[in-house]
Structure 1
Amino acid sequence: MILVTGGSGLVGSFLITELLGRGLSVRALYREKIPVAAHPGRVEWVQADIRDVLAVRAALAGITHVFHCAGLVSYAPQDEEALLRVNVEGTANIVDACLEQPGIRLGFVSSVAALGQVPAAQQQAPGPLLVDEQAKWDLGAEHNAYATSKYLAELEVWRGVAEGLWAVMVNPAVILGPGNWQRSSTRLLRYAYQEHRFYTPSTMNLVDVRDVVAMLAQLTLNTERSGERYVLSAGSLPLRELLTQVAACFGKRPPTVPVPGWAGEVVWRLEHVRAVLTGARPLITKATARAGRRPLEYRADKIRRELGQEFRPLPETIRWCCEQLVANEQLGG
């Protein structure tokens, strides 16, 4: 019996499909409502909050493998406490519950945001910055709240490993998939569909959700590896090129007006003030305004080498996402 947390999210929902395709029994956690078309009759859905210690313990009864996909992604300043409660405390609860049942295997979905900094010497060198699993977290550097929460969540998993837990972690780049049109990375596709004119001169590392769940499942179910983490990234694209490809798939006009760095600095400050005064989520934050100004490449050589698998090409992923969104009639809003 497999437990999936965050079963209604992008990664969780595709992971459930992957596990069912393997003929496995699946129990999945949800917070508010069971997703539409969520494999009726084939998944044991359990309403639970990962911050609830007793609910987590009960959910793990009879479980052999746990895939911890639940988490909060936000760069809004008002969500800093929520990020710690969900991403850190929630992960600690999962780890503690797993430790109470020896033999459980844990697959944890982290993020490239939890990786450490590029060495100072490399920052001075020309060309793109290269980051892999060996990067070291600099406690003295400035980190946004989301990155900090994922790093601290990883520390909870490492603690579990030190206490005897079998666990692996994956660190995906921005995950592309036909998810909720209003949430997560799918909003990038929505932005292109709505024919916005502006883009920032930044670069994004991307990966197909189908590759994420397939590699996570294989690491957790089919290998004996433990105490390891793996970068998952199919490659990088300038944001303008990504949006242009998406717009072409939808038959829309691509963005053409670059936003200079100084303008981004002004906008995130104004958005911060608006968010504090109104409680609304900022459209752009300090972290998102400054992200990707210098090309950064997350190296996924380790997962390629150990599993002998390649990632889907990004143009294929983008085309698939757009086609699925059209077929599922999710466009609009």
Structure 2
Amino acid sequence: MIFVTGGTGLVGSHILFDLVRTGRRIRALKQNTSNLKLVSKIFSYYSDEADQLFSQIEWVEGNILDYHSLEEVLAGVTEIYHCAAIVSFHANDHDSMLNNNVRGTANLIDAALFNKVKKFCHVSSIAALGKTTDGTEINEETYWTPSKQKSAYSLSKFFSEMEVWRGIEEGLDAVIVNPSIILGPGNWDIGSPKLFQAIWKGLKYYTKGETGFVDVRDVAAAMIGLMDDQNFPDTRNQRFILNAGNMSYQEFFNKIADALQKPRPRTFAPDLILQMAWRAARLASFFSGKRPTITRDTVSGSNRINHYNGSKISQTISFNYRNLDETITDIARLFLKDIS
């Protein structure tokens, strides 16, 4: 029995799709507000038998903040893929995100130990890694250091990872993945898919920062590969950066615009303009009562260069990344199909 948290999210839904095709028993956690239609929609992107595949999932209602419910639903489970996490860059979500991501992971670790789960895969983030000061690529050994510039999301992912390492010390066999910016289709109103919508609507601004990107299908395939019985003895109790390549935000936006046959963003947004923009957005939200469209955390680092080395996984197991140009083209095609 395999247990998946965050199955209605971008990574979780793709994990579920890949797992159900293996014929294994799958149990997935959902909340009473979860949108299962989005999971079915993502299945339909890749299969004409989406409904039949979706019906193979055993959905259980619960919450990672409720330890006792986790203890019950993990009975008989041998493997866990922990994809659930709040992703937010709004100041008002600081405490709830830390509580959910860190305490929820701690609860899941404790319940896994109680039920003697054999394998555990945790989805972390490059936000839980450190930065280099000399321009060299960031790898699995570039350790996170405290800083006032760290976002609440970064804090939550770092301390969530610490709970997994704590579980490893207590006898749990686990593997951690640190994806860069994950690209994939689904809910076009949030996360990286929203960037395709923004370009479609005529985004005019770009920044000159550089970072890493990876296809969500690669993230799912990598996690399953790392957890494979033949590979796990060599991958357990390690972390793996998942990054198909590094590029500038300008180049990334241009590739999306070309794939959607829309004008490329033409105006550079320097740090000063970005700082003015998030402050103006915060002031506007004060009067409108609506959340600001941009925040300090969303623009922080937009013009910073960070390169990530995702080669460790290919040196450890048989794994190759998709070409990012093909990834962007595939997502653009699905976006255009959805809005037609």
Aligned pairs (5 A) from 1:130-145? 130-140=137-147, 142-145=149-152
Aligned pairs (5 A) from 1:178-197? 178-197=185-204
Instruction: Tell me the CA shift for residue 269 of structure 1.
Output: 2.2
Identity among equivalent positions (%) equals: 35
Instruction: Tell me the CA shift for residue 140 of structure 1.
Output: 4.8
Is the contact made by 1:204 and 1:292 (CA closer than 8 Å) also made in structure 2? no
Task: Give the aligned partner of residue 160 of structure 1.
Answer: 167
Structure 1 alignment gaps of length 5 or more = none
The one-letter code of the counterpart of 2:29 is: L
Task: Give the aligned partner of residue 15 of structure 1.
Answer: 15
Q: Structure 1-normalised TM-score?
A: 0.92
Deviations 1:92-123, CA, capped at 9 Å, x for gaps? 111010010124311000000001232xxxx2
The one-letter code of the counterpart of 1:287 is: D
CA distance in 2: counterparts of 1:208 and 1:248, whole angstroms: 18
Structure 2 alignment gaps of length 5 or more = 44-52
Task: Give the aligned partner of residue 104 of structure 2.
Answer: 90
The one-letter code of the counterpart of 1:33 is: S
1:251 matched to 2:252? The reply is: no
Instruction: Tell me the CA shift for residue 47 of structure 1.
Output: 1.6
Q: Structure 2-normalised TM-score?
A: 0.90
Task: Give the aligned partner of residue 61 of structure 2.
Answer: 47
1:326 matched to 2:336? The reply is: yes
Deviations 1:285-308, CA, capped at 9 Å, x for gaps? 222222242321111121121113
Is the contact made by 1:195 and 1:247 (CA closer than 8 Å) also made in structure 2? no
1:66 to 77, 80, 102: 80
Indicate the SS of the match to 2:182. Answer: strand
Task: Give the aligned partner of residue 30 of structure 1.
Answer: 30
Indicate the SS of the match to 1:108. Answer: strand
Instruction: Tell me the CA shift for residue 48 of structure 1.
Output: 1.3
Compared with structure 1, are the counterparts of its residues 277 and 47 closer, same or farther at alpha carbon in structure 2 (3 Å cutoff)? Answer: farther
The one-letter code of the counterpart of 1:283 is: T
Indicate the SS of the match to 1:189. Answer: helix
Deviations 1:228-252, CA, capped at 9 Å, x for gaps? 1000001112112111111221221
Compared with structure 1, are the counterparts of its residues 292 and 307 closer, same or farther at alpha carbon in structure 2 (3 Å cutoff)? Answer: farther
Task: Give the aligned partner of residue 175 of structure 1.
Answer: 182
CA distance in 1: counterparts of 2:211 and 2:326, whole angstroms: 16
The one-letter code of the counterpart of 1:286 is: R
Compared with structure 1, are the counterparts of its residues 5 and 116 closer, same or farther at alpha carbon in structure 2 (3 Å cutoff)? Answer: same
Instruction: Tell me the CA shift for residue 278 of structure 1.
Output: 5.2
The one-letter code of the counterpart of 1:49 is: N
CA distance in 2: counterparts of 1:155 and 1:100, whole angstroms: 19
Number of positions where the alignment pairs a residue of Structure 1 with one of Structure 2 = 323
CA distance in 2: counterparts of 1:55 and 1:271, whole angstroms: 40
Compared with structure 1, are the counterparts of its residues 271 and 114 closer, same or farther at alpha carbon in structure 2 (3 Å cutoff)? Answer: same
CA distance in 1: counterparts of 2:144 and 2:63, whole angstroms: 29
1:285 to 278, 295, 301: 295
Instruction: Tell me the CA shift for residue 217 of structure 1.
Output: 0.7
Task: Give the aligned partner of residue 100 of structure 1.
Answer: 114
Is the contact made by 1:174 and 1:185 (CA closer than 8 Å) also made in structure 2? yes
CA distance in 2: counterparts of 1:84 and 1:5, whole angstroms: 17
